């Protein structure tokens, strides 16, 4: 076991104490430096506070500006969309009115041919237009049906009344009206009714056979024999139809009731708008026809010029059978003759 002297012990303690003091001083310096860093960070944070607040204000202002910009854009865009929609609606309305006016013009010419004069045609057409405005039928539905009735032999003065009777029987349905017009017209044209035409009324939901039996005071069996013998005339059929559609008849007032429904009101509105549009554009029709005629003439001349150019080109090719070969001094020869000699 080693023995440590007192002097060696003092030296060892002095060395350890010195090292401890040095370590303590170093720790103090580090602590002081850390404190200074913390204070610096605090000052920096304090200075950054207003800057952060400034950015917050800027962000808030930017958000407000974006909202103001959006609000400013929505106004012009909304106005632009509205203008486009209105313009398109006006364009479609004018186009539809011109088309309707053109159809009415064609119908007018057809009625003039059937009735023999523009005056008679105009009178019937005016009655049909007035009738269409008050019923679920449009003028486009009534005009062709009336035209067929005239062709079958209905008098011009009776057309609208017959259309009203058949319209009541049809319940305001355009498709059924056309079927009844054909059946009625065939009976009128022949002057007598057959089971075929009368069955078409039955198939359309109009019990005309029952009404005929009641009016003629016949049983169903007697009525069938009467019809089969060709004895049922047009007058009897027309009278029974009027009994069903006028006064206290089964279908009397049907058109007036149907015109009160939504479909009837929409049809009436459409008819009124069509007539209003036709009146508005009728003054432009002659001008439109004039411009169209000029365009057609111009296109015809253009086509004629093209055809003439094509014919000239063909003549230039086919009128030169002589082909010059080699030099100008050598005589030309006929290509057709050489072709024949090679056969």
Whole-angstrom distance, CA of residue 68 vs CA of residue 62:
10
Q: What does the mean pLDDT of the chain come to?
A: 76
Higher pLDDT, 172 or 287: 172
Whole-angstrom distance, CA of residue 150 vs CA of residue 114:
7
Beta bridge partners of 334: 322
Q: What share of the chain is helix, strand, coil (3-state, %, to 5)?
A: 80, 0, 15
pTM for the full predicted model: 0.57
Higher pLDDT, 118 or 14: 118
Q: Residue range 46-53: average pLDDT? A: 49
pLDDT on residue 312: 72
pLDDT on residue 68: 61
pLDDT on residue 134: 85
pLDDT on residue 150: 94
Whole-angstrom distance, CA of residue 61 vs CA of residue 70:
14
Give pLDDT tens digits for 200-235. Answer: 999 999 999 999 999 999 999 999 999 999 999 999
Whole-angstrom distance, CA of residue 159 vs CA of residue 24:
127
Whole-angstrom distance, CA of residue 148 vs CA of residue 177:
12
Q: How confident is the model at residue 142 (pLDDT cuts 50, 70, 90)?
A: very high
The fraction of the chain above a pLDDT of 90, given in percent, is 35
- Among 40-49, 108-117, 135-144, 313-322, the least confident range: 40-49
Whole-angstrom distance, CA of residue 212 vs CA of residue 218:
8
Q: Report CA Rg, the chain.
A: 51
Closest CA to 252 of 175, 164, 178, 176: 164
Residue 10 has pLDDT above 70, yes or no: no
Local structure of 323: helix, strand or coil: strand
Indicate the angle between helix axes 139-152 and 174-190, nearest 10 degrees: 10
Residue 194 has pLDDT above 70, yes or no: yes
- Among 39-48, 78-87, 101-110, 140-149, the least confident range: 39-48
Residue 4 has pLDDT above 80, yes or no: no
Q: How confident is the model at residue 100 (pLDDT cuts 50, 70, 90)?
A: confident
Q: 124 with 107: CB under 8 angstroms?
A: no
pLDDT on residue 75: 60
Q: How confident is the model at residue 48 (pLDDT cuts 50, 70, 90)?
A: very low
The two three-digit tokens of residue 266, written as one number: 């929409």
Beta bridge partners of 322: 334
Q: How many CB atoms lie within 10 A of CB 165?
A: 23
Give pLDDT tens digits for 255-274. Answer: 988 888 888 788 778 777 77
Query: What secondary structure, in 3-state letters, does 21-83 show?
Result: HHHHHHHHHHHHHHHHHHHHHHHHHHHHHHHHHHHHHHHHHHHHHHHHHHHHHHHHHHHHHHH
Give pLDDT tens digits for 231-255. Answer: 999 999 999 999 999 999 999 999 9
Q: Residue range 283-287: average pLDDT? A: 74
Give pLDDT tens digits for 317-329. Answer: 555 444 444 444 5
Q: Which residue matches tokens 């057709």?
A: 336
Closest CA to 125 of 159, 95, 153, 99: 159
The two three-digit tokens of residue 148, written as one number: 């067929």
Whole-angstrom distance, CA of residue 320 vs CA of residue 2:
142
pLDDT on residue 259: 83
Q: How many CB atoms lie within 10 A of CB 119?
A: 9
């Amino acid at each position: 076991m080693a023995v440590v002297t007192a002097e060696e012990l003092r030296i060892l303690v002095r060395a350890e104490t010195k090292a401890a003091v040095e370590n303590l001083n170093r720790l103090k310096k580090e602590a002081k430096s850390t404190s200074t860093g913390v204070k610096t960070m605090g000052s920096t944070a304090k200075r950054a506070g207003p800057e952060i607040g400034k950015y917050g204000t800027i962000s808030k202002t930017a958000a407000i500006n974006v909202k103001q910009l959006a609000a400013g854009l929505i106004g012009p865009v909304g106005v632009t969309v509205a203008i486009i929609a209105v313009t398109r609606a006006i364009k479609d309305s004018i186009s539809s009115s011109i088309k309707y006016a053109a159809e009415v013009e064609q119908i007018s010419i057809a009625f003039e041919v059937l009735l023999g004069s523009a005056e008679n045609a105009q009178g019937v057409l005016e009655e049909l237009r007035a009738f269409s405005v008050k019923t679920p039928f449009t003028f486009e539905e009534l005009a062709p049906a009336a035209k067929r009735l005239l062709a079958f032999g209905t008098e011009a003065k009776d057309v609208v009344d017959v259309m009203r009777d058949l319209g009541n029987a049809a319940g305001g349905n355009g498709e059924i009206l056309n079927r009844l017009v054909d059946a009625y017209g065939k009976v009128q044209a022949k002057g007598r009714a057959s089971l075929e035409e009368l069955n078409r009324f039955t198939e359309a939901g109009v019990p005309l056979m029952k009404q005929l039996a009641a009016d003629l005071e016949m049983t169903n069996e007697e009525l069938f024999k009467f019809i089969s013998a060709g004895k049922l005339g047009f007058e009897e059929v027309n009278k029974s139809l009027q009994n069903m559609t006028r006064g206290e008849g089964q279908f009397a007032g049907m058109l007036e009731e149907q015109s009160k429904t939504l479909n009837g009101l929409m049809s009436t509105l459409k008819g009124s708008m069509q007539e209003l549009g036709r009146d508005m554009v009728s003054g432009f029709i002659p001008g439109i026809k004039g411009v169209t005629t000029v365009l057609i003439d111009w296109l015809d001349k253009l086509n004629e010029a093209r055809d003439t150019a094509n014919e000239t080109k063909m003549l230039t090719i086919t009128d030169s059978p002589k082909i010059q070969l080699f030099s100008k001094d050598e005589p030309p020869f006929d290509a057709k003759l050489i072709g024949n000699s090679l056969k």
